[in-house]
Amino acid sequence: METQKVEQQPRKKESFMSPARKSEDDQVILLSSKEGSTLISEDVVAKIAGLAVREIEGVHDLVPFGASQTIQSIAQQFRGDEKRDIGVRVEVGKVETAIDIRVITDYGKSIPEIAEQVRTNVTQRIHLMTGLRVKEVNIEVVDLYFEEHRRRQTTLEPRVQ
C-alpha cells in the first residue's frame, strides 16, 4: 500500500507545530493513499493521552484546563460518563502532536519520576494507536493528594446526631 502525504493548509487557531489539513468535523487527516484517508479526531488523541496518564501509579487525578473543561467535567459526572480527556490539551499536526497535561500527584511520590513515566506512556500509547510522533508532553502538577486526609474525613464522627 503506497502512502502519500497530505498538503498542509494553515490553521486559523494558534498552534505550536506544523498544522494539519482538517475536515469540517475537525478531524485530522493523517494518511492518504489510493485506497482512502485515515481521519483521527483531536478528541481521540486527547482521550488516548488521558487514559495513558491514568495508568501511571502516583497520578491521583487530572485537572481541567479552564472553565470550559470544568463545566464539561461536571456535566460528564452528572451523566455518569468517564472523564477521559479532561486535563489534557492536544495540538495535532500531520505527523506529530504536542500534549499539555494537568495532574494531581500523590504526596510522597517522586514528581520527576511520575512525570517521566507519564511522558513515556503517553508517547508510546499515542504512537502505537495513531502513528503520530509525540513532539512534547508538558506536565503541570497543580496539587498533591494526601491519602491520610481522605481517611481522616471518612472516620470522623458527625458533629451532630
Q: Which three cell numbers stand for residue 101?
A: 497535561
**pLDDT single digits (tens) 36-49:** 888 888 999 999 99
Instruction: Give residue-wise pLDDT tens across range 136-159.
Output: 999 999 999 998 766 555 556 666
For residue 103, the tally of other CB atoms under 10 A from its CB is: 25
Share of the chain above pLDDT 70, in %: 61
Domains of the chain, each with CATH number or no CATH: 41-155 (3.30.70.1350)
- Averaged pLDDT score across all residues of the chain: 78
Helix, strand, coil percentages in the chain from 3-state DSSP, rounded to 5: 35, 30, 35
- Whether the pLDDT of residue 116 is over 90: the answer is yes
